[in-house]
Amino acid sequence: MDNEDFAFIEEQIGYEFENKMLLQQAFIRRSYSQEHPESENNEILEFIGDKALDFIIVRALSDYYGNYTDDDEYYNEFKEGKLTEIKKRLVESKMLAERISLLSFQDYLIMGRGDCQKNIQNETHVKEDLFEAIVGAVALDSDWDIDSLDTVIGMMLDYEHYLENGFTGNDNFTTMIQQWSQKKNLDFPYYEFAESD
């Protein structure tokens, strides 16, 4: 990966790495590190990212659907089962893989020869692993900064859209533009994000 690749990925996730090698490691598959023993792969970052993702999503669900009563007790409009179902939908393999596809991050994977020959970068579990590894890299690089993790997961997963609109995706215009661009074999759309009041 070069500086241009780093800059593109960082812009898409809303986070600039202090340690660019952590970002690169997030994209290194075990097949590559087996061929290049001096390189660490992304498996431990996946583990870290999986836990960070769970935490941020549970936090988002508790904020989005819950509040405090007049007696300062916490109330949530959904029971545990419904919250578990929503969380499961947000972090399931298919969802994470689709989000990686929309970002075209699988194209940056660093893989061994066998993985390259099998086009393994297109497999759902590989894209899911990459999503989690990127989150894990951010967790370590930011020293577990909650705001950084929330920003990155928010931009990569767009979970607020699903909390607002459900899981049909029919009116997620970002997704629609990306899918249209891919069908037309156009360049990946360039996005700029700005906070609004």
For the annotated catalytic residues, the residue numbers are 50, 132
**Secondary-structure percent of the chain, ordered helix, strand, coil, rounded to 5:** 65, 5, 30
In the numeric block, the tokens 């241009």 are attached to 4
Within 13 A of 127's CA, how many CA atoms are on the CB side? 24
In the three-class reduction of DSSP (H, G, I as helix; E, B as strand; rest coil), residue 110 is classed as strand
Are residues 12 and 192 in contact, defined by beta-carbon separation less than 8 angstroms? no
Pull the structure tokens for residue 117: 């020959």
Pull the structure tokens for residue 175: 């997704």
